[in-house]
Amino acid sequence: MKKNTPSQEQIDTMRKTLAVNGFESFLRHLSACYKNSHSNAVRMISGATGAVEVTVRKWKKTGVTNEHAAKALCELARTHGFYFGLHMLRPTDAVCVAWIDRDDRVLVEKYAA
């Protein structure tokens, strides 16, 4: 199968999707540290990043757009005993292209029968 170079629009769309999924995963992991208390996790994230709680909740739809906040979340994860890489919250172009390529392969396999 010939690889197509994804457009910047495709990369940006994938970046948002991965960033949102990454933040939701981070929130689930942190909530588990507080006996599944979502509100405690949001307060902890707010304190660690300096973002107000409304902004933290907004990240469930936008992903973490601030690099300083993303680094603070990675450190927060470390202090709570789990790993969360910066690329999971702020995906690079290479990560986005790899996921686009994966999605393309899955579609070809699905419909090539």
| pLDDT, tens only, 11-64 | 999 999 999 999 999 999 999 987 878 899 999 999 999 999 999 999 999 999
pLDDT for 1 beyond 60: no
Instruction: State the pTM of this model.
Output: 0.85
What does the pLDDT read at residue 47?
96
pLDDT for 113 beyond 70: no
N- to C-terminal Cα separation, the chain: 15
Closest CA to 47 of 29, 25, 69: 69
- To which residue do tokens 């790993």 refer? 83
Burial class (CB in 10 A: 0-12, 13-18, 19+), 3: exposed
Mean pLDDT of all residues belonging to the chain: 89
pLDDT for 108 beyond 80: no
CB atoms within 10 A of CB 86: 15
pLDDT for 65 beyond 80: yes
Report yes or no: 23 and 112 within 8 Å, Cβ to Cβ. Answer: no
What does the pLDDT read at residue 103?
65
What does the pLDDT read at residue 90?
96
